[in-house]
Structure 1
Amino acid sequence: MLLYVHVPFCVRKCGYCAFHSGPFSAPEAERYVELVLRELDCRGKALGRRAVETVYIGGGTPSLLTPAQIGAILEGAAARFDLEAGAEITLEANPESALKTGFLVAVRALGVNRLSLGVQSLRDDLLATLGRAHDAARARLAARAAREAGFSNLSLDMIWGLPGQDVSAWLADLAGIVALAPEHVSCYGLSLEEGAPLAEAVDAGGLSLPDEEEGARMYLEGSAYLESEGFGHYEISNYARPGRESRHNRGYWSGRDYLGLGPAAVSTLGGRRWANPAGLDEYARTAAIGAEREGTEILTADVRRQEMVMLALRTRDGLDLQEFMAATGIEFPRRDPAVERLRSSGLVRLGAGRLQLTREGMLVSNSVIELVLGVLDRTPASTAQESYD
């Protein structure tokens, strides 16, 4: 089982952010930790001592918590579940809060062995546009401080497609990231949610985004550059040195069970999915229940099939067609005209028993996956087996 802990606090809301978060205060943070421990206790009683292979503390800004608070959550998890030896334990952090005196040394001593720093850009003007609380110098300082604190597994988050950014600026940003020698890099295209300050500025004409062609070049050329520097492109938005892929996220993409703790956290266990209430007050009223939440979704065979395809096609490994046949009874229609068009247009590869997106296919992954799902929806289940190339 994977364990995710959502920390719902930020110093301030970034202009593009759609994740659930609220303003930080020390009393609310203490209250939050108590509630998470209460939920942990109830979930542990309900689930038994399930083995946990990864822990991911995300947000929000988890580095706003104190090391003692983070330690209490990790101790609570270890008391109620069997945390596997060598478990990957990730903490998301922002540069400005990661640089609090002694913070990184303390959380490393608690057993956090993977740090994910939200850098987003190494250009001060773009960081200001995004509403980030750090500048490029502090981002570089935080990466160096992580090494000094003993972190040997460092991930840096970046965003492309920013207002005023072009391909050359994006590649320069990536060169700066490579110079920091991380084990992992995540690169997300800017997504503007309705109502976000940055979206409103773009709609009002105060900011302009790169056009579609420029954005495509950023993705393709940025991916090629990172691969040339030794980072494997193992998922649509993720790149890693060999053996340094995120075990937690790979668990999501392979359909593993996961338990989410904290406000707005989602869980998928035993074919059921539910989400915790987003507000801290409502979460406080339900954290001690320990049973399935109202609105729990039963994952039908159709939903599981769709998610198997969607998640697998996000990754470099793609969809294993024999596993798909065994799980669904559907023989993948490799000669379907729509599949042939995807192959001939260079968006997918079909061979060695797998369907995989090419780099160009990853750029338009939503459209490709939707088309593949449409093909499978009209393909009847079969018990026939096929030999794969």
Structure 2
Amino acid sequence: MPGYPAMFAAPLLQGDGKEARNLLVYIHVPFCKSRCNYCAFHSQVFNQVTFAWYMKTLLAEIELWGKRLRNPKIGTVYFGGGTPSMIPPFQLELIMDALRRHFRFTKGMEITVETNPDTVTDLTYFQTLLSMGINRLSIGFQSLDDQDLRTLGRPHNGRQAVEAYQLARQAGFANISIDMIWGLPRQKLKSWMTQLKAVVKLKPEHLSCYGLSIEQGTPFERMQRDVDMELPQESEQARMFIYGAEYLESMGYIQYEISNFARMGFISRHNQGYWDGLDYLGMGPSAVSTIGNRRFTNPEFMDAYDAAVRGGFIGEDYEELGQEIRAQELVMLSLRTAKGLKLSQYREMTGRDLLKEKRGVVNALHKNGLIKISAGYLRLTKNGMLVSNSILQSLAFD
């Protein structure tokens, strides 16, 4: 195919020159019923005309990348958004068929769809997802408290969230993740723990528990400028994080990443792939990809996205990831996980010893109980995870 970068004609490569492990595929679905007050992801209100345009362009992009990458093997597919569960099942089937035609699926691969409770009220919907090979759900509860949900701008209530989960179980889904947010306006530790216990009673295989962050350009950012949002004090948020994590671990959920907990055997393979630095291909408006040492982002708006796909120049505007950036990302991604940073891997990549290079910072962090070093790995402690952003910054950058 003329006009595409030569780097995509070769097999996918890892940074060490060996053939890559199975590619991760992310499909961005930029449609929602309405925009939540905390959300900074690219999305727009659903309408049939724009959605039809999106589908036509996405299917063309899938074919384009299948040809460029010579039908690569993929290990996971993740439909994120936006609200992927707004896609009618027969059109989701079209996307799955296109992926199967232009990529090679690995046996037992993980295929995840994010869902919002207000868009999945039918048992048949979940049964159809299973029949087309989708085997993992991520359901966005965010809270079970109706007042919290109104504050967040969510288009559902707590009862609908539980009912959506129960329908998924009834349909036969055996791998379900639930998303929750802590540190909400006026929230107290007791309220957070009560909700967490209610969610655990449902027995999901996986939980993602995110601390609320006020992102630029969101309604919450504007509200924070104008009014006191009554966000919990830092000490209260710290208790929510630590007590919540300890409770989940006591109930059999392994904290394998700062915000993610899973029962044995149910770690999100797709997300783990990001933290392990695997190559990933993002398709759809605003989706990000990293292939080899090159990173690129699809255009955000439909007209520019469509033009890039039809013109065959999508992915041409890339950032070259040098060794220093790769090393920084290794530190920042590895230290988000419970496994931590393998110090020999950093040394092999850079030729430097991180413990010597950052001796003063490492000693201070260790003295204050924020990191631990054992068996060749550097890891954050629970208290270290609380202030992870500043620790990662100090270890990854000069």
Alpha-carbon offset, residue 195 of structure 1: 3.5
Structure 1 counterpart of 2:382: 359
1:96 matched to 2:118? The reply is yes
Deviation larger for 211-220 or 299-308: 211-220
Query: How many residues are aligned here?
Result: 375
Q: Deviations over 1:323-351 (max 9, x none)?
A: 22222211232581221111111100111
Pick one of 8, 12, 29 that aligns with 2:51. 29
Structure 2 counterpart of 1:226: 248
Give yes or no for contact 2:177–2:205 (8 Å, CA) kept in 1. Answer: yes
Take 1:293 and 1:311, find their aligned partners in 2: how far apart are those partners? 24
RMSD over aligned Cα, in angstroms? 1.3
Q: Deviations over 1:77-111 (max 9, x none)?
A: 11111111111000000001121462111111111
Take 1:32 and 1:312, find their aligned partners in 2: how far apart are those partners? 35
Aligned letter for 1:119? F
1:369 matched to 2:392? The reply is yes
Give yes or no for contact 1:156–1:185 (8 Å, CA) kept in 2. Answer: yes
Say if 1:95 and 1:111 are closer, same or farther in 2 by CA, change over 3 A: same
TM-score (norm 1): 0.94
Structure 2 counterpart of 1:143: 165
Alpha-carbon offset, residue 270 of structure 1: 1.3
Structure 1 counterpart of 2:201: 179
Say if 1:179 and 1:272 are closer, same or farther in 2 by CA, change over 3 A: same
SS in structure 1 of the partner of residue 369 of structure 2: coil
SS in structure 2 of the partner of residue 200 of structure 1: helix
Aligned letter for 1:367? S
Give yes or no for contact 1:305–1:328 (8 Å, CA) kept in 2. Answer: yes
SS in structure 2 of the partner of residue 315 of structure 1: coil
Give yes or no for contact 1:167–1:217 (8 Å, CA) kept in 2. Answer: yes
Pick one of 83, 97, 100 that aligns with 2:105. 83
Pick one of 293, 307, 310 that aligns with 2:329. 307
Aligned letter for 2:263? R
Q: Deviations over 1:227-249 (max 9, x none)?
A: 11110010011000011100000
SS in structure 2 of the partner of residue 164 of structure 1: coil
SS in structure 2 of the partner of residue 139 of structure 1: helix
Alpha-carbon offset, residue 369 of structure 1: 1.0
Give yes or no for contact 2:122–2:167 (8 Å, CA) kept in 1. Answer: no
Aligned letter for 1:204? D
Give yes or no for contact 1:8–1:61 (8 Å, CA) kept in 2. Answer: yes
Structure 2 counterpart of 1:288: 310
1:113 matched to 2:135? The reply is yes
Unaligned runs of 5+ in 2: 1-22
Q: Deviations over 1:205-264 (max 9, x none)?
A: 253111111111111111111111110010011000011100000000000000000000
Aligned letter for 1:16? Y
Give yes or no for contact 2:30–2:82 (8 Å, CA) kept in 1. Answer: yes
Alpha-carbon offset, residue 292 of structure 1: 4.9
Alpha-carbon offset, residue 7 of structure 1: 0.1
Pairing 1:256-267 to 2, within 5 Å after superposition:
256-267=278-289
Give yes or no for contact 1:42–1:288 (8 Å, CA) kept in 2. Answer: no
Take 2:395 and 2:217, find their aligned partners in 1: how far apart are those partners? 32
SS in structure 1 of the partner of residue 213 of structure 2: coil
Say if 1:290 and 1:253 are closer, same or farther in 2 by CA, change over 3 A: farther
Take 2:333 and 2:92, find their aligned partners in 1: how far apart are those partners? 30
Aligned letter for 2:389? N
Pick one of 123, 128, 147 that aligns with 2:145. 123
Alpha-carbon offset, residue 142 of structure 1: 0.6
Structure 1 counterpart of 2:179: 157
Give yes or no for contact 2:123–2:171 (8 Å, CA) kept in 1. Answer: no
Pick one of 351, 354, 361 that aligns with 1:332. 354
Deviation larger for 317-326 or 82-91: 317-326
Structure 2 counterpart of 1:170: 192
Alpha-carbon offset, residue 34 of structure 1: 1.3
Alpha-carbon offset, residue 289 of structure 1: 3.9
Structure 2 counterpart of 1:381: none
Seq. identity, %: 46
Pick one of 190, 199, 203 that aligns with 2:212. 190
1:9 matched to 2:9? The reply is no
Say if 1:297 and 1:202 are closer, same or farther in 2 by CA, change over 3 A: same
Aligned letter for 2:148? L
Deviation larger for 190-199 or 341-350: 190-199
Pick one of 54, 58, 61 that aligns with 2:83. 61
Take 2:392 and 2:229, find their aligned partners in 1: how far apart are those partners? 31
Alpha-carbon offset, residue 187 of structure 1: 0.6
Take 2:123 and 2:361, find their aligned partners in 1: how far apart are those partners? 57
Deviation larger for 290-299 or 348-357: 290-299
Give yes or no for contact 2:308–2:314 (8 Å, CA) kept in 1. Answer: no
1:235 matched to 2:257? The reply is yes
